[in-house]
Amino acid sequence: MHIWVDADACPNSVKDILFRAANRTQIQLVLVANQHIKTPPSRFISSLQVPSGFDVADNEIIQRLNEGDVVITGDIPLAAEVIAKGGHCISPRGERFTKENMAQILEMRNFTTTLRDSGMIEGGGQKAFGAADKAAFANSLDQLLARLKR
């Protein structure tokens, strides 16, 4: 099993949690980004730099993903592909993406994108990443890894 991280937009505090989890559980952690990502020395942690471009990191993750692997991403379309391929997915804010909720999450994302693109709503995006998000991520990751390690 691997943990794959869509690392370009992943908060540093989430990466720190992942570094500790990889060493504790001895699961291979790979951060995929279009820039160099510094990682601590560990035989369980590595980074993979991909060329710049639209969805290059996402495509690399999907190409390397095996059934049962875990992906950390806030990218809804990538999460849908992960779930379709039999992977597990968590957002950096701790939201679990599953077969049961993925269609609804993707539909809502597409709906709000359509409203935003048509000018019916302005702005968008999420609130700033905070301590509650960090705690939710840590809890969600711990629960998933404990379930998968059984």
**Residue entry with tokens 């968590």:** 90
**Residue range 124-140, pLDDT digits in tens:** 667 889 999 999 999 99
User: Domain extents for the chain?
Assistant: 2-149
Sequence-distant (6+) residues with CB within 8 A of 84 are: none
- How many other CB atoms are there within 10 angstroms of residue 87's CB atom? 22
Architecture of domain 2-149 in this structure: 3-Layer(aba) Sandwich (3.40)
What token pair was written down for 111?
A: 């709906």
Residue 94: which of 55, 32, 127, 143 has the closest Cα? 143
**Residue range 80-116, pLDDT digits in tens:** 999 999 999 999 999 999 999 878 888 877 777 777 6
Q: Is the pTM of this model over 0.85?
A: yes
Q: Provide the pLDDT confidence category of residue 3 given band limits of 50, 70 and 90.
A: very high
What token pair was written down for 33?
A: 């980004």
